[in-house]
Chain A
Amino acid sequence: MFNGFKGVLYRELSVYRKRARKQILASSLSPLLYLIAFGWSLGRGVSVDGLPYISFLIPGLITMSSLNQSYGIAQELNITRFYFHVFDEYLIAPISHAEIVLGEAAYGMFKGLLSTVLIFVYAVLFGVKLILTPVFFVAILLHTFLFAALGITVAMLVRDHGTQATVNTFVITPMIFLSGTFFPVDKLPYIFKVLVYALPLTYSTKVIRASLTGGAVNLFFVLLLVIFAVLFFTSALWAVRRVEA
C-alpha cells in the first residue's frame, strides 16, 4: 500500500538530502533581508492593525517563505520531467496518479514547513513573541499543501521552462506582494482588494497572522483554505492524468 507515495517521497528526499545545506542557506537569506529592511529599519516604531510592525511582518514572512518553498517544487518537477524524464519511472509503475500527487505535495509541504521553522528561529532572535495554537498548525498544513498542489498543476501543464517562468512572474510574484504579507490588504485600492480576495494567500495569511498574534481567527477563511486545497489537488490530479495524452 502507498508504494507510489513512499516512492515519490523517497526520491525527492534523497535528492534533497544531498542539497540540503545549500538549499537551507539560500532560502534563509531573503526573509532575513526583509526583516532587516522592513521590520527593523523601516518599520521601527510603526504599528499596523494594533501590532508592532515586526510582529505583523513575521507571519507574512512565514506565509511568503513557505509558499515559495512549497510552490517552488514546480521548478524541480519541471526539470526532472522535461530534461531527465524521471517522471516516466512513476508513470510506468503500478501506482495511482493520486499517490504521485500526494507524494510530491508531501515533499512540497516538507520544504514549506522547514522554512516556517526557520522564520520561527528569526522571530526568537528578533525578540518577537508568537502564540502557537492548533489553528496555526491546521492553517500552515493547508497553506503548504494547497500551494504545493498548485505547483504540481502548473509544472504538469506548462510545455517548457519559459512558460513556467512567465507564470511565476505574472501570477505568483504579484500574489506574494499584494496578499497582505507586508501590509494589510484593507489598505489597497478597491479594484486590487477585489483581486486579492480571490487569491488563497490572502486567506492563509489572515488566518496564520491572527492565530500567531492572538487575534480572532475567522473560521470561514479556514473553510475557504480547505476548498482551495481540494480544488488544487483535483487540478493537480487532472494535470498528471493529462500527461498521458
Chain B
Amino acid sequence: MKASMSEGAAALSVEGLVKRFGKRKALRGISFRVEGGDFIGLLGPNGAGKTTTIKILTGLIKPTEGGVRYYGRDFAAHPREAKRFIGMVPQQSNLDRDLTAYENLYLHTILHGIPKPARKERIEEALEFAGLTEYRDRQVKTFSGGMRRRLVIVRALLHEPRILFLDEPTVGLDPQIRRTLWDLILKVNQVKGTAILLTTHYIEEAEKLCGRVLIINKGRIIAEGPPDDLKREIGRYVLEIFLEDRIEEEFFPSRDEALERLKECDHSCKVREVTLEDVFLRLTGRRINV
C-alpha cells in the first residue's frame, strides 16, 4: 500500500496508553501488538477499560499519555490515513434509526470515499453477507438487536478495513443470536483475512473465537497469550472442593492427576476443565462476571 508505511512493522502497536478522566484513571499503561490476520480478544470485567481502549484506537478520544501506531505510522499525527484501513463496531449501535439499512450503508460509502460505481454492488454484497437483503429498505428503528448488530458489522467492513474493532459485539443478545454473530465474525476473519480486536466480558466468547487473549483489569493488561497457554499455566484441570462456607480449588496439569486427588477427597468434589474465568480469578482474586 503506501510507501510511507514501514514493511515489517506490526499492523497495530500500542505503547503505554494512559487515559485519565478527571481524577479517575481509566487506563494505567496499556501496551500490545496486533499482526495482520490476528484474532485478539480483550477480556475483562465491566469498567476494566475496554471501551476506553477501543475509543482511543479509533480516534474517538485522545489518550492522556502513550501512543498508537498503525503499520509503523503514528496515529495521532496521521489520523486520516489510518482511518482508511480500520473499522469499528461500537458497543452501542450508532446506526441512524431514521435511515433505512441501505441508506446507512450508503452514508458509509460516501464518508469513506468508495467510488460511486462500486457503491451499489458493495452494499448489496454487505446486505447479503449480513442476511439482511430483504430488509434493505426498512428503517433501522424497526430492526431487532441482532439485525442491528449484523448491520453495524457489515457497515464497518464496507471500506474493506484491515483491522476491525468490535466492542462487546454480542452483549445483550440471545444465546442463539450470539452464535450466529460469532459465525459472522469468524467468517470475516477467515474469509476476508481481516485482523480482529474484540472486547468482551464473556469467557466463552473469548475462548471460542480468539487466537490470543489480553486479560485486562483496572486499566492494566495482567495476562496475555493464547487461551490454551493461559489455562495451561495454572493447570488444565481443576478440582472443586465444596466446603461448608466456600469452594476450594486445586489445579492439575492432567485429568488423571485431578481424578487421583478426587479419590482422597472427603467433601463433595468435582473435576472440570479450567476456563479463563479461573485464570482471572487466580490473578485478581475476583470473578470477571459477578
Contacts and interface: CB of A to CB of B under 8 A. Distances in A.
Interface in A5-23: 6-7, 10-11, 14-15, 18
Interface in A231-245: 244-245
A3 B99 contact: no
A144 B244 CA distance: 74
A75 interface: no
Interface residues of B, number: 28
Contacts of A11: 96, 99, 107
B58 A92 contact: yes
A184 to B, nearest CB: 42
Interface string B87-105: 0101011111111000100
Contacts of A88: 60, 90, 94
A243 to B, nearest CB: 9
Contact of B62 (A3, A92, A244): A244
A34 interface: no
Interface hub of A18, A87, A90, A92 (most chain B Cβ within 10 A): A92
Given A10-B106, A94-B80, A18 B112 contact: no
B98 A15 contact: yes
Contacts of B103: 14
Contacts of B59: 91-92, 244
Interface string A72-90: 0000000010001111111
A232 B110 CA distance: 27
B111 A84 contact: no
B139 to A, nearest CB: 8
A15 B99 contact: yes
Interface string B37-56: 00000000000000000000
Contacts of B58: 92
A165 B117 CA distance: 44
Given A4-B111, A15-B98, A85 B83 contact: no
B113 interface: yes
A95 interface: yes
A10 B107 contact: yes
A168 interface: no
B192 interface: no
B61 A245 contact: yes
Contacts of A86: 94-96
B204 interface: no
A93 B60 contact: no
Contacts of A3: 110-113
Contact of A7 (B60, B61, B97, B110): B110
Interface of A: 3-4, 6-7, 10-11, 14-15, 18, 80, 84-96, 244-245
Interface of B: 58-62, 79-81, 83-84, 88, 90, 92-99, 103, 106-108, 110-113
17 contacts: A3-B110, A6-B110, A7-B107, A11-B99, A14-B98, A14-B103, A15-B99, A84-B96, A84-B97, A86-B94, A86-B96, A92-B58, A93-B83, A93-B112, A94-B111, A95-B111, A244-B59
| Closest CB pairs A-B (n = 3) | A93-B111, A85-B94, A94-B83
